Amino acid sequence: MTGKNAAKHNIFGFIDRKPGPYSIYIPNGSNMTSKTLWEILSDRGKNVLVMNVPVTFPPRRVKGYLVSGFLAPRIEGATYPESLAQKLKAGGYEIDIDPWRARENLDNLYPDLMKAFKARVDAFMKLYKEKKWDFAQLHVMETDRLYHFMWEYMEDGHPKYAGEFMNVIKAIDEFLGMIDREVDDDVTVLVMSDHGFCSLKKEIYLNRFLEEAGYLSYKAEGAKSLGDIDPARTKVFCMDPGRFYINLRGREAEGIVSREEYEPLREKLCADLEGLTDEEGNRVIKDVLTKDEIYSGPHFEIAPDVVINPVDGYDPKGAFGKQTLSGKGPIVGMHTHHDAMLFVRGQELMEGGSVLDVPMTIYDIMGIQPPEGLDGRSLLKK
């Protein structure tokens, strides 16, 4: 959305923590301190159509249409202009499926996904054909829901769910084929995913590890949230997905770790995480990174102090109060970090790209001078 690392735009995850008091909040577009790609294009006089991108609620003003995505509570109030909401609602548009229906009964997932996807594609194509757009973007959330709930069943060839899984993929593939046929040859088509997927072997409850290793303590039994930690006895806590925060004095509300203790403590934490294994002795963490390796910008101070990249199959969780190091629920697929992808029709791309490079690549395609302060690069081979 921005081409900037999180310490520049101020959103570090779908759930963030407040340094004081010890609590969490769900960030939205109002917490983002950087302009988005489509706002910058709008400022340059370009017509934009943006639909269903996560964390775009409340919608910001653009030169065209914006339909908020994941984390918008309802379609009313989730569009710019506001009048667009009723038009979408009349066509059966849904911001997202209700994932709890899939948790309660997996048989609900396939019909819910197909219904939401069809309405989304129909709405997008109608809006796309309304005028000549300089930039149009559709985010497909249905793949993420599908993979979280059905990836393992697909890999195992489940008699029902594997077929439903591939039917959704076929529908998306047909949509991409339609785009390829209908969009003029002088229009650049990009397809991207910001992560890959694999089957989930185990969820790894990292606050349980911290508790067992003496880094974290709770006020009482039955802890369920960040507010249940005992700040007087906690040196480190963890948030999804594998973000570790040192209880630093002067930054956290009741921090106990001094600036002098910070670096030795972080080094010990990194070493302990690198050696972390599950109950069967399997290594669960591939990379341990410090904030200095990832972030730079005005929000650097509140960034997580350590971030992990897990071994495929081991999903890092920041749940509090767990009694075991690992477990597994109805979610059977997890994100992977090494196989995000970008395809640009008619263009050869450089190797080793990052999601940070996508806005720079788009500016390059459109022949627009990018704004200052971006972290990425164009991936077009010249």
Cα separation, 333 vs 253, in Å, equals 36
Predicted confidence band of residue 309 (pLDDT cuts 50, 70, 90): very high
Residue 155, SS3? helix
Taking residues 220-241, report their average pLDDT.
Answer: 96
Of the ranges 10-24, 196-210, 219-233, 280-294, which one carries the lowest mean pLDDT score?
10-24
- Overall average pLDDT of the 10-19 stretch: 91
Q: Is pLDDT above 80 for 374? A: yes
Q: Look at residue 92 in the predicted model and tell me its pLDDT.
A: 95
Indicate the pLDDT class of residue 18, thresholds 50, 70 and 90: confident
Comparing CA positions, the residue from 307, 226, 224, 212 lying closest to residue 266 is: 307
Distance CA 147, CA 165 (A): 8
| Sheet with 326-327, side-by-side order of all strands | 314-317, 202-205, 326-327
- What pLDDT is stored for residue 20 in this prediction? 76
In this prediction, residue 10 carries a pLDDT of 97
Supply angle C-alpha 165, 166, 171, rounded to 5: 105
Please tell me the predicted confidence (pLDDT) of residue 81: 98
In angstroms, the first-to-last Cα distance of the chain is: 24
- State the chain's mean pLDDT as an integer: 96
Summarize pLDDT for 236-279 with one digit per residue, the tens: 999 999 999 999 999 999 999 999 999 999 999 999 999 999 99
Give the tens place of pLDDT for each residue, 316-326.
Answer: 999 999 999 99
pLDDT confidence of residue 204 = 98
Percent of the chain with pLDDT over 90: 97
Biggest distance spanned by C-alpha atoms of the chain? 64
Q: Are 229 and 219 in contact (CB under 8 A)?
A: yes
Inter-axis angle of helices 109-128 and 142-156, nearest 10: 140
19 pLDDT more than 80: no
The reported pLDDT for the residue numbered 21 is 85
What single letter denotes the amino acid at residue 211? Answer: E
Residue 41 CA to residue 202 CA, distance in Å, equals 42
pLDDT band at 211 (very low <50, low <70, confident <90, very high): very high
Paired with 283 in beta bridges are 277
Give the whole-number percent of the chain exceeding pLDDT 70. 100
Q: What is the pLDDT of residues 345-370, one digit of tens each?
A: 999 999 989 999 999 999 999 999 99
Q: What is the pLDDT of residue 378?
A: 97
By the 8 A CB rule, do 70 and 141 touch?
Answer: yes
In this prediction, residue 327 carries a pLDDT of 96
- DSSP letter (8 states) at residue 349: B
The pLDDT tens digits for 115-160 are 999 999 999 999 999 999 999 999 999 999 999 999 999 999 999 9
* Closest listed residue to residue 321, CA positions, set 238, 202, 232: 238
243-266 in b/e form (b: 16+ CB < 10 A) is bbbbbbeebbeebebeeeebeebb
Reported confidence tier of residue 382, pLDDT bands at 50, 70, 90: confident
**What's the token pair of residue 212?**
């067992």
pLDDT band at 29 (very low <50, low <70, confident <90, very high): very high
